[in-house]
Structure 1
Amino acid sequence: MPTLNPLSTASVAVNAARTLTRELEQRILTPAVEAVAGDGRKQRWEHHKQARRTELTEGTVEAIRALGPNAGMDEIAAHVGVSKTVLYRYFTDKNDLAAAVTVTYMESTLLPLLTDVLTDDLADYDLVRTVIGVYVDTVSADPNVYVFTTGRSAGSNSAAYTERIFTGAVRSTIEQRLGVRGAQIDGAKTWATAIVGAIIRAVDGWLVTRDQPTTQLVDELTMLVWSALVGIVARNGDPVAFAADPLPMPPLPGDAP
């Protein structure tokens, strides 16, 4: 696959991720109460409420790192240094708190790292492997917060929205890269969803067993994703052409040529 300069592609992918992050904030965080025009007290309360939510969210991140993703509201409150009543004053329930932590984690950790990768001048293969490596290494370095924010323990919808953020960025990148080649892009949504889903499921399973080094996990995922992308490009992004002429399986050792 020829080397392409990914800078224009990167801007599209990054913008998609940021747009979806704003959507995440709007849809799963408790909506702010609209300030009444001219009511200075309500406006001041609303500013205080949002500032306090931010402070408690950041404290919760540190609590989850220390206590684990299954920590209850009582434990989180004690670690933050407030009562559980205070948490419920600013968050509807644990799902609401997990949603707030998700946005903080995405904006402060994962998205900046992915932005740096996507704006690097990397060849196609290097970009694929580096993006997977960033995801795996970030999860490995902060597993408690990852599990909590993706809703595996918190029971919230945060996991679905987290996947949408990554899928949107991957889809934009695929569309741009195929577009440069004049290939069909109708399948980009399906391919991006499958790629992101496979990576997330594999990482989730690895977190349970930790049965291999992260470098091996990255290598195996890269092999899977890169092979799929090469197959798509080889048939110009056209499922009909692929079905009519699928890439052949290499012969078994010892088979006659």
Structure 2
Amino acid sequence: MEEPDQTPRSGADGRSTRWEAHRARRRGEILDAALAAIDEEGPEVGVRRIAERIGAPRSAVYRHFRDRADLDGRIRRRALDSLLAELGPTLEPDGTVLCAIRRSVDAYLGWIAAHPQRYAFLSAGEHGGRSPDTEGTKAVIAHRAGTVFKAVLRALGKDDAGLAVPLASGLVGFVDATVDNWLAGRPDTAASAPLAEFLTRSVWAVLDGNLRALGVQLAPDQRVSALLGD
């Protein structure tokens, strides 16, 4: 009996790959248009306005997303990716301890100042609460910060006793809640220097207190690289 032909249909596979690549590009264009629309018109912008930006009817948007909830979830992830791109590098150990804290705070507040409507969109989330995507991003930020805390304690010969990640999560939550409260007063986001100073001092105070409880006295002008032995 002759064996069935198992040769891949390269032509069909190639067309499928090109089609998927085209769809991915189109989804990216729609998401970028959505972010631009949110930046200009606010978090309640409609799908029709998004479609107009890509020169397509409203129905064309829904060919790439299941429904509005799916679209909103993808927009949130796109916005959060841009936040992580700004904030991620500042979570690497560099400079003095206090400068490292201030750099992260400045990056976070700088992103909000540059994209206040995106932040409002993220803050609104789903059904009036924070979305799983937003909470997941906060967990990623806390994990990265917690990894640095663990490395510092390990370099100092201390067991973190399971403190590093909860400490990082608490600090991320504190910063997030403080910024939300500050923005609720509708301040000029360009005048955020006092808030940045407050957050920097507060984060340092919490870190210092917990380090002292572990028997570690750390100067705020100590270089993080020296602590890690780099």
User: Taking structure 2 as the reference length, what is the TM-score of the superposition?
Assistant: 0.77
Report the number of matched residues.
Answer: 201
Q: Which residue of 2 aligns with 1:127?
A: 100
Q: Which residue of 1 aligns with 2:197?
A: 219
Aligned with 2:43 (options 69, 72, 78): 69
Q: Which residue of 1 aligns with 2:139?
A: 164
Listed as ranges, the gaps of 5+ residues in structure 2 are 1-7, 217-230
**What is the CA-CA distance between 1:74 and the residue it aligns to?**
2.4
Q: How does 1:173-188 map to 2 (within 5 A)?
A: 173-185=148-160, 186-188=162-164
4+ long deviations beyond 6 Å: none
Among the aligned pairs, what percent are the same residue?
27
Q: How does 1:77-156 map to 2 (within 5 A)?
A: 77-107=51-81, 109-119=82-92, 121-148=94-121, 150-153=122-125, 155=127, 156=131
**What is the CA-CA distance between 1:54 and the residue it aligns to?**
1.0
Aligned 8 A contact 1:98 1:158 in 2: no
State which drifts further: 208-217 or 174-183: 208-217
Q: Which residue of 2 aligns with 1:43?
A: 17
Rg larger for: 2
Residues 193 and 111 of structure 1, relative CA distance in 2, 3 Å threshold: same
Write the distance in 2 (CA, Å) between the matches of 1:37 and 1:234.
66
Write the distance in 2 (CA, Å) between the matches of 1:122 and 1:93.
46
Aligned 8 A contact 1:167 1:192 in 2: yes
Question: What secondary structure is seen at the aligned counterpart in 1 of 2:63?
Answer: helix
Q: More relative contact order in 1 or in 2 (CA 8 Å, sep 6+)?
A: 1
Question: What secondary structure is seen at the aligned counterpart in 2 of 1:90?
Answer: coil
Write the distance in 1 (CA, Å) between the matches of 2:170 and 2:9.
47
Write the distance in 1 (CA, Å) between the matches of 2:215 and 2:142.
18
Residues 118 and 162 of structure 1, relative CA distance in 2, 3 Å threshold: closer
Write the distance in 2 (CA, Å) between the matches of 1:154 and 1:83.
25
Aligned 8 A contact 2:39 2:115 in 1: yes
Aligned 8 A contact 2:112 2:119 in 1: yes
Write the distance in 1 (CA, Å) between the matches of 2:24 and 2:97.
42
Aligned 8 A contact 2:105 2:196 in 1: yes
Aligned 8 A contact 1:184 1:237 in 2: no
Residues 120 and 196 of structure 1, relative CA distance in 2, 3 Å threshold: closer
Aligned 8 A contact 2:80 2:134 in 1: no
Cα deviation code 1:51-78 (max 9, x no counterpart): 1111111111111111111212223223
**What is the CA-CA distance between 1:237 and the residue it aligns to?**
7.4
Q: How does 1:15-30 map to 2 (within 5 A)?
A: none
Aligned 8 A contact 2:109 2:196 in 1: yes
Question: What secondary structure is seen at the aligned counterpart in 2 of 1:126?
Answer: helix
User: Taking structure 1 as the reference length, what is the TM-score of the superposition?
Assistant: 0.70
State which drifts further: 122-131 or 86-95: 86-95
1:229 aligns with 2:202: no
Aligned 8 A contact 2:29 2:54 in 1: no
